[in-house]
Structure 1
Protein backbone atom coordinates (compact mmCIF):
# COMPACT_ATOMS: atom_id res chain seq x y z
CA UNK A 1 0.00 0.00 0.00
CA UNK A 2 1.26 3.48 -0.91
CA UNK A 3 0.89 4.81 2.67
CA UNK A 4 3.67 2.41 3.67
CA UNK A 5 5.87 3.66 0.81
CA UNK A 6 5.53 7.25 2.05
CA UNK A 7 6.14 6.10 5.64
CA UNK A 8 9.35 4.36 4.53
CA UNK A 9 10.46 7.46 2.60
CA UNK A 10 9.97 9.54 5.76
CA UNK A 11 11.84 6.99 7.90
CA UNK A 12 14.81 6.87 5.49
CA UNK A 13 15.10 10.67 5.28
CA UNK A 14 17.95 12.31 7.20
CA UNK A 15 16.23 14.36 9.89
CA UNK A 16 17.50 17.19 12.06
CA UNK A 17 15.43 18.86 14.77
CA UNK A 18 15.58 22.17 16.56
CA UNK A 19 13.43 23.41 19.44
CA UNK A 20 12.91 27.16 19.11
CA UNK A 21 10.19 29.80 19.75
CA UNK A 22 7.82 27.19 21.26
CA UNK A 23 8.07 25.08 18.10
CA UNK A 24 9.69 21.80 17.08
CA UNK A 25 11.38 22.52 13.75
CA UNK A 26 12.28 19.49 11.67
CA UNK A 27 14.31 19.38 8.47
CA UNK A 28 14.14 16.31 6.22
CA UNK A 29 16.68 15.50 3.51
CA UNK A 30 15.35 12.74 1.25
CA UNK A 31 17.41 10.21 -0.71
CA UNK A 32 16.47 11.98 -3.99
CA UNK A 33 17.97 15.26 -2.68
CA UNK A 34 14.61 16.96 -2.07
CA UNK A 35 14.03 18.69 1.27
CA UNK A 36 11.04 19.24 3.54
CA UNK A 37 10.86 21.55 6.55
CA UNK A 38 8.10 21.33 9.15
CA UNK A 39 7.23 23.21 12.33
CA UNK A 40 5.06 21.78 15.10
CA UNK A 41 3.58 23.67 18.04
CA UNK A 42 5.17 22.18 21.18
CA UNK A 43 2.00 22.59 23.29
CA UNK A 44 -0.53 21.12 20.86
CA UNK A 45 1.77 19.02 18.60
CA UNK A 46 -0.16 20.63 15.71
CA UNK A 47 1.56 21.14 12.35
CA UNK A 48 2.09 24.89 11.88
CA UNK A 49 4.17 24.96 8.71
CA UNK A 50 5.41 22.65 5.94
CA UNK A 51 7.63 23.74 3.07
CA UNK A 52 9.34 21.85 0.25
CA UNK A 53 12.49 22.46 -1.74
CA UNK A 54 13.01 20.28 -4.81
CA UNK A 55 16.22 19.73 -6.73
CA UNK A 56 16.33 21.64 -10.00
CA UNK A 57 16.84 19.88 -13.35
CA UNK A 58 20.57 20.64 -13.12
CA UNK A 59 20.91 19.38 -9.54
CA UNK A 60 20.89 22.76 -7.82
CA UNK A 61 18.59 23.84 -5.00
CA UNK A 62 15.21 25.28 -5.98
CA UNK A 63 13.13 27.82 -4.07
CA UNK A 64 11.18 26.82 -0.95
CA UNK A 65 7.46 26.41 -1.66
CA UNK A 66 4.84 26.45 1.08
CA UNK A 67 2.36 23.59 1.51
CA UNK A 68 0.98 24.38 4.98
CA UNK A 69 0.99 27.68 6.88
CA UNK A 70 1.33 31.36 6.08
CA UNK A 71 3.08 32.10 2.83
CA UNK A 72 5.52 34.91 3.39
CA UNK A 73 6.42 36.94 0.31
CA UNK A 74 9.66 35.66 -1.21
CA UNK A 75 12.55 37.90 -2.01
CA UNK A 76 12.55 41.57 -1.11
CA UNK A 77 10.03 42.78 1.41
CA UNK A 78 9.75 46.13 -0.31
CA UNK A 79 6.55 48.09 0.30
CA UNK A 80 6.38 48.65 -3.45
CA UNK A 81 5.90 44.96 -4.25
CA UNK A 82 3.25 44.06 -1.69
CA UNK A 83 0.20 42.00 -2.53
CA UNK A 84 -2.99 44.00 -2.33
CA UNK A 85 -4.21 43.35 1.23
CA UNK A 86 -7.84 43.27 0.06
CA UNK A 87 -7.23 40.40 -2.42
CA UNK A 88 -8.49 36.95 -1.36
CA UNK A 89 -5.68 35.19 0.52
CA UNK A 90 -5.60 31.38 0.26
CA UNK A 91 -3.66 29.37 2.86
CA UNK A 92 -3.71 25.95 4.49
CA UNK A 93 -3.79 25.47 8.24
CA UNK A 94 -4.62 21.97 9.48
CA UNK A 95 -6.32 20.79 12.65
CA UNK A 96 -5.80 17.43 14.42
CA UNK A 97 -8.63 15.79 12.46
CA UNK A 98 -8.90 17.86 9.26
CA UNK A 99 -6.87 19.34 6.45
CA UNK A 100 -8.11 22.91 6.43
CA UNK A 101 -7.85 25.88 4.07
CA UNK A 102 -8.80 29.48 4.73
CA UNK A 103 -9.54 32.12 2.15
CA UNK A 104 -9.44 35.52 3.79
CA UNK A 105 -10.91 38.74 2.35
CA UNK A 106 -13.81 36.98 0.66
CA UNK A 107 -17.07 38.50 1.82
CA UNK A 108 -19.88 36.87 -0.17
CA UNK A 109 -22.62 35.09 1.79
CA UNK A 110 -22.32 31.32 2.34
CA UNK A 111 -24.92 30.38 -0.30
CA UNK A 112 -22.74 31.93 -3.05
CA UNK A 113 -19.99 29.29 -2.57
CA UNK A 114 -19.74 25.80 -3.96
CA UNK A 115 -16.85 23.52 -2.94
CA UNK A 116 -16.59 20.17 -4.70
CA UNK A 117 -14.20 17.23 -4.74
CA UNK A 118 -13.18 16.17 -8.26
CA UNK A 119 -11.72 12.64 -7.78
CA UNK A 120 -10.84 12.18 -11.48
CA UNK A 121 -8.80 15.41 -11.46
CA UNK A 122 -7.48 14.70 -7.94
CA UNK A 123 -8.40 18.18 -6.75
CA UNK A 124 -11.04 20.26 -5.00
CA UNK A 125 -12.71 23.22 -6.72
CA UNK A 126 -14.10 26.39 -5.16
CA UNK A 127 -16.62 28.31 -7.25
CA UNK A 128 -18.90 31.26 -6.58
CA UNK A 129 -22.29 31.61 -8.26
CA UNK A 130 -21.46 35.29 -8.97
CA UNK A 131 -18.33 34.14 -10.92
CA UNK A 132 -16.08 36.37 -8.75
CA UNK A 133 -13.84 33.60 -7.37
CA UNK A 134 -12.60 30.26 -8.71
CA UNK A 135 -9.80 28.08 -7.35
CA UNK A 136 -8.56 24.52 -7.81
CA UNK A 137 -6.35 22.97 -5.15
CA UNK A 138 -5.00 19.49 -4.44
CA UNK A 139 -4.30 17.66 -1.19
CA UNK A 140 -0.65 16.54 -1.51
CA UNK A 141 -0.93 14.34 1.62
CA UNK A 142 -3.56 12.16 -0.10
CA UNK A 143 -1.54 12.06 -3.34
CA UNK A 144 1.66 10.98 -1.55
CA UNK A 145 -0.23 8.11 0.09
CA UNK A 146 -2.28 7.40 -3.07
CA UNK A 147 -5.55 7.74 -1.15
CA UNK A 148 -8.77 8.63 -2.99
CA UNK A 149 -10.51 12.00 -2.73
CA UNK A 150 -13.86 11.52 -0.97
CA UNK A 151 -16.67 14.06 -1.48
CA UNK A 152 -18.20 13.11 1.89
CA UNK A 153 -15.05 14.26 3.74
CA UNK A 154 -15.41 17.82 2.43
CA UNK A 155 -17.27 20.63 4.22
CA UNK A 156 -17.12 24.44 4.34
CA UNK A 157 -18.34 27.42 6.32
CA UNK A 158 -18.01 31.20 6.12
CA UNK A 159 -17.36 33.70 8.93
CA UNK A 160 -15.60 37.07 9.32
CA UNK A 161 -14.94 37.47 5.56
CA UNK A 162 -13.19 34.08 5.58
CA UNK A 163 -14.23 30.91 3.79
CA UNK A 164 -13.08 27.85 5.78
CA UNK A 165 -12.86 24.54 3.93
CA UNK A 166 -12.27 21.32 5.86
CA UNK A 167 -11.42 17.84 4.63
CA UNK A 168 -11.69 15.08 7.24
CA UNK A 169 -8.39 13.20 7.43
CA UNK A 170 -8.69 9.51 6.52
CA UNK A 171 -7.74 7.04 9.26
CA UNK A 172 -4.59 6.08 7.32
CA UNK A 173 -3.35 9.69 7.52
CA UNK A 174 -4.24 9.99 11.24
CA UNK A 175 -2.27 6.80 11.96
CA UNK A 176 0.70 7.98 9.89
CA UNK A 177 0.74 11.38 11.64
CA UNK A 178 0.67 9.73 15.09
CA UNK A 179 3.56 7.41 14.17
CA UNK A 180 5.58 10.27 12.68
CA UNK A 181 5.05 12.48 15.72
CA UNK A 182 6.26 9.65 17.95
CA UNK A 183 9.44 9.39 15.82
CA UNK A 184 10.00 13.16 15.81
CA UNK A 185 9.72 13.34 19.60
CA UNK A 186 12.57 10.81 19.84
CA UNK A 187 14.88 13.06 17.79
CA UNK A 188 17.49 14.80 19.90
CA UNK A 189 16.36 18.34 19.12
CA UNK A 190 18.84 21.00 20.15
CA UNK A 191 17.53 24.23 21.63
CA UNK A 192 18.42 27.30 19.57
CA UNK A 193 21.38 25.34 18.15
CA UNK A 194 23.23 26.14 14.99
CA UNK A 195 21.64 23.39 12.92
CA UNK A 196 20.82 24.82 9.52
CA UNK A 197 17.07 24.41 9.55
CA UNK A 198 16.30 27.72 7.93
CA UNK A 199 13.35 27.84 5.56
CA UNK A 200 14.02 31.21 3.98
Structure 2
Protein backbone atom coordinates (compact mmCIF):
# COMPACT_ATOMS: atom_id res chain seq x y z
CA UNK A 1 0.00 0.00 0.00
CA UNK A 2 1.36 3.42 -1.00
CA UNK A 3 0.81 5.03 2.42
CA UNK A 4 2.79 2.24 4.15
CA UNK A 5 5.62 2.78 1.65
CA UNK A 6 5.76 6.51 2.39
CA UNK A 7 5.62 5.90 6.14
CA UNK A 8 8.50 3.42 5.77
CA UNK A 9 10.56 6.01 3.82
CA UNK A 10 10.14 8.53 6.65
CA UNK A 11 10.78 5.93 9.37
CA UNK A 12 14.09 4.95 7.73
CA UNK A 13 15.18 8.59 7.22
CA UNK A 14 17.65 10.28 9.57
CA UNK A 15 15.59 12.76 11.57
CA UNK A 16 16.41 15.74 13.76
CA UNK A 17 13.96 18.12 15.41
CA UNK A 18 14.10 21.50 17.13
CA UNK A 19 11.54 23.78 18.71
CA UNK A 20 11.99 27.29 17.30
CA UNK A 21 9.74 30.34 16.78
CA UNK A 22 6.70 28.51 18.15
CA UNK A 23 7.13 25.66 15.68
CA UNK A 24 8.46 22.11 15.77
CA UNK A 25 10.90 21.90 12.85
CA UNK A 26 11.80 18.42 11.64
CA UNK A 27 14.58 17.67 9.16
CA UNK A 28 14.44 14.34 7.29
CA UNK A 29 17.45 13.00 5.38
CA UNK A 30 15.98 10.27 3.18
CA UNK A 31 17.93 7.15 2.20
CA UNK A 32 17.99 8.31 -1.45
CA UNK A 33 19.78 11.53 -0.37
CA UNK A 34 16.77 13.85 -0.64
CA UNK A 35 16.14 16.31 2.19
CA UNK A 36 12.74 17.25 3.55
CA UNK A 37 11.89 19.85 6.19
CA UNK A 38 8.51 20.04 7.88
CA UNK A 39 7.33 22.67 10.36
CA UNK A 40 4.47 21.86 12.73
CA UNK A 41 2.35 24.33 14.68
CA UNK A 42 3.03 23.50 18.36
CA UNK A 43 -0.61 24.03 19.37
CA UNK A 44 -2.41 22.21 16.54
CA UNK A 45 0.34 19.79 15.35
CA UNK A 46 -0.66 20.69 11.76
CA UNK A 47 2.08 21.03 9.13
CA UNK A 48 2.51 24.73 8.30
CA UNK A 49 5.46 24.28 5.94
CA UNK A 50 6.95 21.43 3.91
CA UNK A 51 9.96 22.01 1.69
CA UNK A 52 12.29 19.77 -0.33
CA UNK A 53 15.94 20.53 -1.06
CA UNK A 54 16.30 20.01 -4.79
CA UNK A 55 19.41 18.89 -6.63
CA UNK A 56 20.08 19.69 -10.27
CA UNK A 57 20.97 17.10 -12.92
CA UNK A 58 24.67 17.51 -12.12
CA UNK A 59 24.09 17.18 -8.37
CA UNK A 60 24.32 20.91 -7.67
CA UNK A 61 22.08 22.39 -4.98
CA UNK A 62 19.25 24.32 -6.66
CA UNK A 63 17.60 25.41 -3.41
CA UNK A 64 14.37 24.62 -1.63
CA UNK A 65 11.07 23.86 -3.32
CA UNK A 66 8.09 24.62 -1.10
CA UNK A 67 5.22 22.10 -1.13
CA UNK A 68 3.22 23.56 1.79
CA UNK A 69 3.36 27.22 2.83
CA UNK A 70 4.26 30.35 0.93
CA UNK A 71 6.65 29.93 -2.02
CA UNK A 72 10.29 30.93 -1.60
CA UNK A 73 11.16 34.26 -3.23
CA UNK A 74 12.57 33.60 -6.67
CA UNK A 75 16.31 34.25 -6.87
CA UNK A 76 16.18 35.04 -10.57
CA UNK A 77 13.35 37.49 -10.05
CA UNK A 78 15.76 40.40 -10.08
CA UNK A 79 15.51 43.19 -12.58
CA UNK A 80 19.27 43.86 -12.51
CA UNK A 81 20.16 40.26 -13.41
CA UNK A 82 17.50 39.19 -15.90
CA UNK A 83 16.13 42.49 -17.10
CA UNK A 84 12.59 41.17 -16.59
CA UNK A 85 10.36 40.75 -13.59
CA UNK A 86 7.21 38.71 -13.16
CA UNK A 87 4.18 40.97 -12.83
CA UNK A 88 3.17 41.48 -9.22
CA UNK A 89 -0.43 41.02 -10.36
CA UNK A 90 0.20 37.50 -11.75
CA UNK A 91 -1.76 34.76 -9.92
CA UNK A 92 0.23 33.16 -7.07
CA UNK A 93 -0.55 29.66 -5.76
CA UNK A 94 0.26 28.66 -2.19
CA UNK A 95 -0.75 25.55 -0.28
CA UNK A 96 -1.98 25.04 3.27
CA UNK A 97 -3.04 22.06 5.34
CA UNK A 98 -5.78 22.08 7.97
CA UNK A 99 -6.80 19.27 10.31
CA UNK A 100 -9.51 18.14 7.89
CA UNK A 101 -8.53 19.49 4.48
CA UNK A 102 -5.90 20.28 1.86
CA UNK A 103 -6.09 23.88 0.73
CA UNK A 104 -4.84 25.90 -2.23
CA UNK A 105 -4.97 29.70 -2.25
CA UNK A 106 -4.65 31.39 -5.63
CA UNK A 107 -4.18 35.13 -5.17
CA UNK A 108 -4.68 37.86 -7.80
CA UNK A 109 -7.77 36.30 -9.38
CA UNK A 110 -10.27 39.18 -9.67
CA UNK A 111 -13.09 37.33 -11.48
CA UNK A 112 -16.41 36.56 -9.74
CA UNK A 113 -16.94 33.15 -8.10
CA UNK A 114 -19.38 31.91 -10.73
CA UNK A 115 -16.72 31.83 -13.50
CA UNK A 116 -14.56 29.22 -11.73
CA UNK A 117 -14.78 25.46 -12.03
CA UNK A 118 -12.52 22.95 -10.25
CA UNK A 119 -12.55 19.38 -11.53
CA UNK A 120 -10.79 16.18 -10.49
CA UNK A 121 -8.95 14.88 -13.56
CA UNK A 122 -6.77 11.80 -13.12
CA UNK A 123 -4.41 12.66 -10.28
CA UNK A 124 -4.85 16.41 -10.65
CA UNK A 125 -7.23 19.23 -9.85
CA UNK A 126 -7.94 21.42 -12.88
CA UNK A 127 -8.91 25.06 -12.29
CA UNK A 128 -10.67 26.79 -15.18
CA UNK A 129 -12.56 30.01 -15.72
CA UNK A 130 -15.51 30.22 -18.12
CA UNK A 131 -14.10 33.54 -19.41
CA UNK A 132 -10.90 31.66 -20.50
CA UNK A 133 -8.72 34.02 -18.43
CA UNK A 134 -7.16 31.40 -16.14
CA UNK A 135 -6.22 27.70 -16.33
CA UNK A 136 -4.12 25.78 -13.83
CA UNK A 137 -3.27 22.14 -13.07
CA UNK A 138 -2.72 21.45 -9.37
CA UNK A 139 -0.77 18.40 -8.18
CA UNK A 140 -1.83 16.67 -4.97
CA UNK A 141 1.32 14.98 -3.59
CA UNK A 142 -0.51 14.12 -0.33
CA UNK A 143 -2.95 11.89 -2.26
CA UNK A 144 -0.13 10.42 -4.39
CA UNK A 145 1.53 9.24 -1.15
CA UNK A 146 -1.56 7.26 -0.16
CA UNK A 147 -2.12 5.99 -3.71
CA UNK A 148 -5.45 7.80 -4.23
CA UNK A 149 -6.89 9.89 -7.05
CA UNK A 150 -8.94 12.99 -6.20
CA UNK A 151 -12.69 12.58 -5.80
CA UNK A 152 -14.92 15.35 -7.19
CA UNK A 153 -17.28 15.18 -4.18
CA UNK A 154 -14.49 16.24 -1.81
CA UNK A 155 -13.78 19.54 -3.62
CA UNK A 156 -15.21 22.88 -2.50
CA UNK A 157 -14.13 26.47 -3.12
CA UNK A 158 -14.77 30.07 -2.12
CA UNK A 159 -13.68 33.37 -3.64
CA UNK A 160 -13.15 36.68 -1.87
CA UNK A 161 -10.59 39.51 -1.81
CA UNK A 162 -9.33 38.42 -5.29
CA UNK A 163 -8.33 35.04 -3.82
CA UNK A 164 -9.70 31.66 -4.86
CA UNK A 165 -9.55 29.20 -1.95
CA UNK A 166 -9.93 25.54 -2.93
CA UNK A 167 -10.44 22.94 -0.20
CA UNK A 168 -10.15 19.18 -0.62
CA UNK A 169 -11.61 17.16 2.26
CA UNK A 170 -9.01 14.66 3.44
CA UNK A 171 -9.91 10.99 2.90
CA UNK A 172 -9.59 8.52 5.82
CA UNK A 173 -6.40 6.96 4.38
CA UNK A 174 -4.62 10.35 4.43
CA UNK A 175 -5.83 11.20 7.95
CA UNK A 176 -4.52 7.81 9.11
CA UNK A 177 -1.12 8.34 7.45
CA UNK A 178 -0.78 11.84 8.95
CA UNK A 179 -1.57 10.43 12.40
CA UNK A 180 1.18 7.79 12.05
CA UNK A 181 3.72 10.36 10.79
CA UNK A 182 2.82 12.71 13.66
CA UNK A 183 3.46 9.86 16.12
CA UNK A 184 6.96 9.44 14.59
CA UNK A 185 7.58 13.20 14.82
CA UNK A 186 6.35 13.48 18.41
CA UNK A 187 8.66 10.62 19.46
CA UNK A 188 11.71 12.60 18.29
CA UNK A 189 13.66 14.34 21.02
CA UNK A 190 13.52 18.00 20.02
CA UNK A 191 16.18 20.49 21.11
CA UNK A 192 15.13 24.08 21.53
CA UNK A 193 18.18 25.61 19.91
CA UNK A 194 20.67 24.96 17.13
CA UNK A 195 20.20 24.78 13.42
CA UNK A 196 18.50 21.96 11.53
CA UNK A 197 19.42 23.34 8.09
CA UNK A 198 15.91 24.73 7.69
CA UNK A 199 15.22 26.95 4.73
CA UNK A 200 14.56 30.52 5.75
CA UNK A 201 10.88 31.26 6.02
Query: 1:123: which partner in 2?
Result: 124
Provide the rounded CA distance (Å) in 1 between the counterparts of 2:48 and 2:174: 17
Once residues 77 and 192 of structure 1 are traced to their aligned partners in structure 2, the CA distance between those partners, rounded to angstroms, is 33
What's the counterpart of residue 159 of structure 1? Answer: 160
Native 8 Å contact 2:77 2:86 kept in 1? no
Deviates more, 1:166-175 or 1:61-70: 61-70
- The structural deviation recorded for 1:128 is 0.5
Q: CA RMSD for the aligned pairs?
A: 1.9
Could you say what secondary structure the match of 2:63 adopts?
A: coil
What is the CA–CA distance in structure 1 between the aligned matches of 2:61 and 2:87, rounded to whole Å?
A: 30
Extract unaligned runs of 5+ from structure 1: none
Higher relative strand content: 2
**Structure 1 residue 196, shift from structure 2 partner:** 3.1
* Count of residues in Structure 1 that have an aligned counterpart in Structure 2: 197
TM-score, normalising length: structure 2: 0.90
Gaps of 5+ in 2: none
CA distance in 1, matches of 2:76, 2:60: 22
- Bigger drift between 8-17 and 177-186 goes to 177-186
Matched ranges for 1:1-200 at <5 A = 1-75=1-75, 83-119=86-122, 122-193=123-194, 195-200=195-200
- TM-score normalised by L of structure 1: 0.90
Give 3-state SS (helix, strand or coil) of 2:90's partner.
coil
The DSSP-based 3-state class of the residue aligned with 2:199 is coil
